[in-house]
Structure 1
Amino acid sequence: MIKMENVGKTYPKGVKALRDMSVSIEDGEFVYVIGASGSGKSTFAKLLIREEKMTKGKMTVCGYDLAKIKNKDIPKLRRQIGVVFQDYRLLESRTVFENIAYALEVIGTNPEDIKPRVMEALIQVELEDKADHKPTELSGGEQQRVGIARAIVNNPKVLIADEPTGNLDPKTALDIMRLFYRINLTGTTIIMVTHNRSIVTKVHNRVIEIKNGTLVGDKCKDNGSLEYDYSSGDYILI
């Protein structure tokens, strides 16, 4: 699915964001990418969708060689990858339904297919009763669910979540995490970029750690699930 071999990324003025990164991620994995601010984890995610171009190395994502990919093929690559953002990035002037439908419209989906696919995505994130609402009428957790629905409406092979719980309270964050686990169970590969160690240290999923642009940890664990313990105010593994 995803393979990086000695990948490096150097920004203008010599800033090295990634150094000789070698990682393989298989179909259906749930992987956390952790690191402090400025460690290179966001660059890692941007390389996957070809928002940034690597400076050196080899990289394959969803069958595309990103060292040789043509500009006309980049949209085809991105159709196989959904992205969820920390700040939701919803269009406030459009309804929930229209925000999700837009992701299908821009890739030329048959108009007759749009409504059933949007409603299917809304059912998956448990917001089918909010289709006609505007984003400003929703809670933060609900807005993030809309963002997730928009990311999965095209049935991507890979879902990248960049700090998806960063703006949410612990209980709402837990609900969002449960949703990601359910999506992963359908076979979607999930790569979650986060600095929330209170979650990561308690889960059994694979954790890739980046420090100063260098891979410093890659621990594979068995899948687990999370629960929120109100007495301790923290996440526990169940």
Structure 2
Amino acid sequence: MSTVLAGHGLIKKYGSTTALAGIDIEVGQRDSLAIMGPSGSGKSTLLHTLAGIVRPDEGMVLLHGERIDKLGENRLSALRRKRFGFVFQFGQLLPELPAEENVALPLMLEGVPRRQAVDRARRWFTPLGLDGLHQRRPGQLSGGQAQRVAIARALVIEPAVVFADEPTGALDQATSEEVVRLLTSVTRSQGAALVMVTHDADVAAHCDRILQVRDGLISSHDQHTVA
């Protein structure tokens, strides 16, 4: 499996607190990685560093073998928009836009005409079980439906990597199961890598690999075959 995203020797400090203490990590195409750990372990900092949101103090982050942590802010912002998809705990959909325009938004921000962007967005509604919800605004969607719209928004740009930060944290157990199954299967079918932070072991079990982080270091790394 070819490496899509890698971090080497990642160190990040906030004052006297060391969030990352020298982490090495690689994620391949169609690979899904769950990052777990107690509060303050460094798991969210690791995700944000790999996603180019936080710059490491030492070490490097590479996308397809090219270093991205030293890019200027404009180039790094453009890379995040074009190559990375994001799914957050509370979806972060724009309340004034219908579902199809929330999904199309990343394309429109890159200059794709609205009609073309919405046409591309609509292609995701059937695979994600959102038929008939195109014109619903976020306030008219259930939590699970809103997260599926967020997944569609992350995938519409055909990203190299999808980053998910506690994507099921606001959902009940049954809905969490449904959402994480969709998230892992659809990213895999699209050839994207998935990096997910979660506190839920049942959610993490849907990923190919589980990384346990403690005190800014990898404490364990489990690999298994997902049925």
Report the equivalent of 2:224: 221
Find the aligned partners of 1:189 and 1:7 in 2 and give their Cα distance. 20
Please say if 1:188 is aligned against 2:192.
yes
Structure 1 residue matching 2:89: 3-state secondary structure: coil
Q: Which moved more, 1:66-75 or 1:51-60?
A: 66-75
In structure 2, what is the Cα distance between the partners aligned to 1:108 and 1:88? Answer: 23
Specify every segment of 5 or more residues in structure 2 that has no aligned partner in the other structure, as ranges: none
Structure 1's consecutive aligned runs of 4 or more residues displaced over 4 angstroms after TM superposition are none
Partner of 1:130: 133
* Cα displacement (A) at 1:66: 2.6
Q: Which amino acid aligns with 2:215?
A: N
Using CA pairs under 8 Å that are at least 6 residues apart, name the structure with larger relative contact order, 1 or 2: 2
Report the secondary structure of 2:129's partner residue.
coil
* Distance of 1:199 and 1:182 partners within structure 2: 13
> Structure 1 pair 75/203, CA: closer, same or farther in 2 (3 Å)?
closer
Measured after TM superposition, the shift of residue 128 of structure 1 is 3.0
Amino acid at match of 1:43: T
Identify the residue that residue 175 of structure 1 maps to in structure 2: 178
TM-score, normalization by structure 1: 0.87
Determine which of 117, 125, 128 is the counterpart of 2:120.
Answer: 117
Give deviations 1:84-111, integer Å, cap 9, x for gaps: 0001111111111121222211111244
| Superposed counterparts of 1:74-113, under 5 Å | 74-78=76-80, 79-113=82-116
Which residue, 57, 72, 75 being the options, matches 1:73?
75
Partner of 2:168: 165
| Alpha-carbon contact 1:62-1:77 (below 8 Å) kept | no
**Displacement, 1:64?**
3.5
2:210 corresponds to which residue? Answer: 207
Cα separation, 2, equivalents of 1:30 and 1:69:
26
The alpha-carbon distance between structure 1 residues 80 and 119, as it changes in their structure 2 partners (threshold 3 A), is: same
- Aligned to 1:176, the other structure's residue is in SS state helix
The alpha carbon displacement at 1:203 in A equals: 4.7
Question: The residue matched to 1:54 in structure 2 has which SS?
Answer: coil
SS of equivalent to 2:126: helix
Counterparts in 2 of 1:18 and 1:173: CA distance versus 1, 3 Å: same
Single out whichever of 91-100 and 110-119 deviates more from structure 2: 110-119
Q: Say if 1:73 and 1:62 are closer, same or farther in 2 by CA, change over 3 A.
A: farther
**Structure 1 residue aligned with 2:54:** 52
| Amino acid corresponding to residue 120 of structure 2 in structure 1 | R
CA RMSD of aligned residues (A): 1.6
Provide the TM-score with structure 2 as the length reference.
0.91
Residue among 35, 47, 52 paired with 2:37: 35
For structure 1, list consecutive stretches of 5 or more residues without a partner in the other structure. 225-238
Q: Does the aligned pair in 1 maintain the 2:20–2:215 contact within 8 Å?
A: yes
- Alpha-carbon offset, residue 48 of structure 1: 1.7
Q: Within 2, Cα distance between the matches of 1:87 and 1:163? A: 9
- In 2 relative to 1, CA 21–177 (structure 1 residues): closer, same or farther, beyond 3 Å? same
- How many residues align? The count is 222
Q: Which residue of 2 aligns with 1:198?
A: 202
